[in-house]
Every structure is written in structure tokens, then in C-alpha cells.
Amino acid sequence: MTRRPQRALPALLLAAVAVASAAAPPRSSSATPAQTTSAALARAQELIDAGRPEEATALLRPLCEARPPDAQALLLRSTALIMAGDVEAGRRDLDHALELDPDLRQGWLNRAAVELADQRYDPALAALRRAQELDPAAADNDLNLGAVLVLAGDLPSASQHFGRYVAANPGSAEALYLVATNYGLAGYHALALEHLRQAVALDERMRLRARTDAIFSELAATGAFAALLETDAYAPPPGAYRARRAYPVPYDAEDGRLLGAVIDGLRTAGIPFDPLVEVASSWALLWGELRVKVARAGDGSGVVEVTAPAERMTPAQWQERTEELFRAISIRLAPLSRPSS
């Protein structure tokens, strides 16, 4: 297999540090020092998650400058500093946190990310192996090790780790997708496409996700990837409800009249749906209470196909919802389909 030249990682992404307390305790004059620290850590994590690293840094300063400093606070501040662009200061805080508490697994994961961003694969692998020692059963061990090994060019070892990760997550489209992104990032396009196909077969929404994933930008130029994006191979489960209605307005990905009428019809009928719509050249998909496919028929007309698992609603509810939807679409299209005078 020919391997494409390696590309630098587009950005440094550090996993969020897990805070011991899931919710900050209420503030009160009787709060213990441990509760106060836990509350500060929880709030700092919230600020980091909200993309406000400078505020998190300021909040953590007292804990980081205490004697002795709090290792968890240093770890959080290192993430905040790197998010804010001060990588060197973030690295210093990270090193200090691990000196104070070598058992901080998240710290070793973060160190691996820092080393990986600089394409320092051996130190990144060493950090990940330390994280693995701290929690041998962690679900992300094989995925993390495979991600570094594939970028380092050790495809056989990386594939072994990826294979174990997928095997440990049977039936998981997410697991297959993550493996596909790692192969794609390293330039192994055939392997990326193979795992992406499997992910889409398990969950068709992975196809929509792949459409906008920058990791697959080079793969997007291939015919095989384009074919995957244009193929709707969905098969309704046994006993599923199915309905179909044709309309004189054709489906057109650029024009959008029929698709717009379907979206308006769903809103009018009060049928909940995901605002993320997958649009291909000859069809579009909407998901929610119903799976709605808007497509181009062979005669040039437009077709709306609706399906839903039988356990989702009663036959009477299905009849009511689909009839109301089809009626709303017809009303929305009526002015568009009339001949001009």
C-alpha cells in the first residue's frame, strides 16, 4: 500500500480533565476547603468547555500558586493556557502537575497530545503507555495508541490496536468512524474508506458527518468516496411503516423548492426532526420521528418517501402524521406548481 506524505496535525486538541465532583457544591460559609477546591475546579472546567480559557486561568491561579499547588488545578490550567495559545506555559503546568501526581491519567493523555502536535511520536507513545498502565481497561487505550502509531508510519502495529478497539466496541458506528478518521489523517485512504463504509452501514448519519469532516478532504476527490456519499442503501426494519407521495415539483439540490416544502410541512404538522439535513445530488434526508427522503423520480418528478419503525407509533398515529405531512407539502407547493399566466 502506498502511503501519502504525512501532514501535520491541524490543531492541538486536549481532552477535558475529568473533575472529581460532577456538580459543584452550594457555596456557603460552612464549605470545607475540599468543597471550595472542588467547586473551583468544576467551574474552571465549565469555562474551558465554553471556550473561555482566560477566565478559567484566572480562577485557577490561587490553587496553582498555593503551597503545595493543586495538581488537578495545574492540569486544568495547562489545558486553558494551551487553548489560549500559550503552549509553553501550558506544557510547564502539565509537567508540574505530573510531577506532583504521576497517577493523573488525563495528564499523560494530555502530554501525548502535546508531543503528537510536535510530531514527537516516541514521547507520545511513552505517555500513552503510562496512561494504559494506570487504567489497563480504559476503552480509549487502543484507539490512542493506534492513532500515534499510524501517524508514525507503523501501520501493522496501528492496525492491530485499531482492530482491538473495534472488536471491543461491536456494532459501534462511532468506533469505526474514529478509526476511519485516524487512517484518513495519516493518508491511508483505502483503509479510511473501508472503515467509513462499515460505519455508514451501521448508522447512515455517519455519511452526513463525513461530508463536512476536513480529515476526508483529500479522500473527497476520489470516486469511491463520492459514490459512498451519493448512495442511500437504507433498508427499513421488518414491519416498518412506509408511505410515498409524488409531486409535480422535481427534487433539485440547487433549487431546493421541494426540500423546502418538506421542511415547512414537517413544521406545520408539528413533527419533530433534526435540523441537520443531508443533501446529495439526487436525494436529501431528514431524520426525527420520521425518516423522510426527498428524491428525484425517473420521470423528473419529485418523490417524498417516509418510513418509521412500527414500535414508534400506532397505525392510527402513523396515518394521521403522514397524511398531515403530505397535505402540508401539497399546500406549500401549490403556488409553485401552477402554470404562469
Q: What is the DSSP letter of 312?
A: G
Q: Are 225 and 193 in contact (CB under 8 A)?
A: yes
State the pairing for strand pair 278-279/283-286: antiparallel
- 258-277 confidence digits (pLDDT tens): 999 999 999 999 999 999 99
Percent of the chain surpassing pLDDT 90: 82
Q: Place 30 in a pLDDT band, splitting at 50, 70 and 90.
A: low
pLDDT at res. 337: 52
Residue 92 has pLDDT above 90, yes or no: yes
3-state secondary structure of 104: coil
Alpha helices in the chain (DSSP H): 33-49, 53-64, 71-83, 87-100, 105-117, 121-134, 141-152, 155-168, 173-186, 189-202, 205-211, 223-230, 257-269, 315-337
> What is each CA distance from 295 to 229, 250, 278, 326, in whole angstroms?
15, 8, 12, 15
- 269-319 confidence digits (pLDDT tens): 999 999 999 999 999 999 999 999 999 987 878 999 999 999 999 999 999
The mean per-residue pLDDT over the stretch 163-182 comes to 97
* Cα 225 from Cα 207, distance rounded (Å): 10
Q: Give backbone dihedrals phi and psi of 65, rounded to 5 degrees, phi first.
A: -100, 5
* Cα 182 from Cα 6, distance rounded (Å): 12
Q: What cell does 60 get?
A: 485557577
Torsion, Cα 308 226 257 243, to 10 degrees, reads -20
Which ranges in the chain are annotated with CATH 3.30.310.50?
241-337
The mean per-residue pLDDT over the stretch 130-158 comes to 96
The mean per-residue pLDDT over the stretch 152-163 comes to 97
Architecture category of domain 241-337 in CATH: 2-Layer Sandwich (3.30)
Please report the sign of the dihedral spanned by the C-alpha atoms of residue 154, residue 159, residue 161, residue 162.
positive
pLDDT at res. 17: 28
Q: Are 177 and 168 in contact (CB under 8 A)?
A: no
Q: Give Rg (Cα) of the chain.
A: 26
The mean per-residue pLDDT over the stretch 141-162 comes to 97
* Cα 158 from Cα 143, distance rounded (Å): 9
Residue 14 has pLDDT above 50, yes or no: no
Q: Place 254 in a pLDDT band, splitting at 50, 70 and 90.
A: confident
Q: Place 336 in a pLDDT band, splitting at 50, 70 and 90.
A: low
Q: Are 91 and 114 in contact (CB under 8 A)?
A: yes
Q: How far apart are the first and last CA of the chain?
A: 63
